[in-house]
Chains A and B, each alone.
Chain A
């Protein structure tokens, strides 16, 4: 158990819909990362938040957005869903010390878009 929690575990929805994925980081970790894992793209970095502020963006679609709240939990919002958005979504957290910031991953949310 990494200490990172994600809800829900599974999500099934239809095209065009909007969903919200939630991540609670390990106690004391300030940074949250979101990754997407699809069959054809592998594990890809989407976005990083540090202490409530966006720090880095990766291959995140404009239909997707995220935020980190004062209690440090994070939400990833996916809208206008398409079939191709079906994937595993992982979040990871780290302390983000100056040196040494290992990321610990949650169990993931499996999104199926029908």
Chain B
């Protein structure tokens, strides 16, 4: 079972920041937080991941709370092409651990003009 909780859906105005929350209150110390998105029926697209520090890349920023029980994915300037289902996933790294991703229902983000 997925170990994360996300809102089912969210709306965002085009050009504004989209803030997608994720609760992972049972996260273990060696589990990373990953974000993927799926646009329509395309293959899931990797966005960003982090362990405990905030992370930023060309797509998004990831803010992880100090207790690591929740995180927020930030798309700084949402466009219509960011409309997708966003998945927050926690998983362990390291050899010997199966790297399977456990997908929940995700958050459907609708960016509106």
Contact = CB atoms under 8 A, between A and B. Distances in A.
Interface of A: 2, 4, 31, 33, 35, 37, 42-45, 48, 55-56, 58, 88, 90, 92, 94, 96, 98-108, 110
What is the interface of chain B mostly: helix, strand, loop, or mixed?
A: loop
Given A42-B103, A43-B103, A94-B99, A108 B42 contact: yes
Given A106-B43, A107-B42, A48 B93 contact: no
A101 B93 contact: yes
What is the interface of chain A mostly: helix, strand, loop, or mixed?
A: strand
A15 to B, nearest CB: 23
Contacts, number: 66
Contact of A98 (B44, B94, B101): B94
A37 B98 CA distance: 20
B41 A108 contact: yes
Interface residues of B, number: 22
Which of A43, A92, A94 has most B Cβ within 10 Å?
Answer: A43
Given A98-B95, A101-B93, A45 B43 contact: no
Given A33-B100, A45-B100, A56-B100, A99 B41 contact: no
Nearest to A108: B43
B38 to A, nearest CB: 8
5 contacts: A33-B99, A48-B98, A90-B44, A103-B99, A108-B43
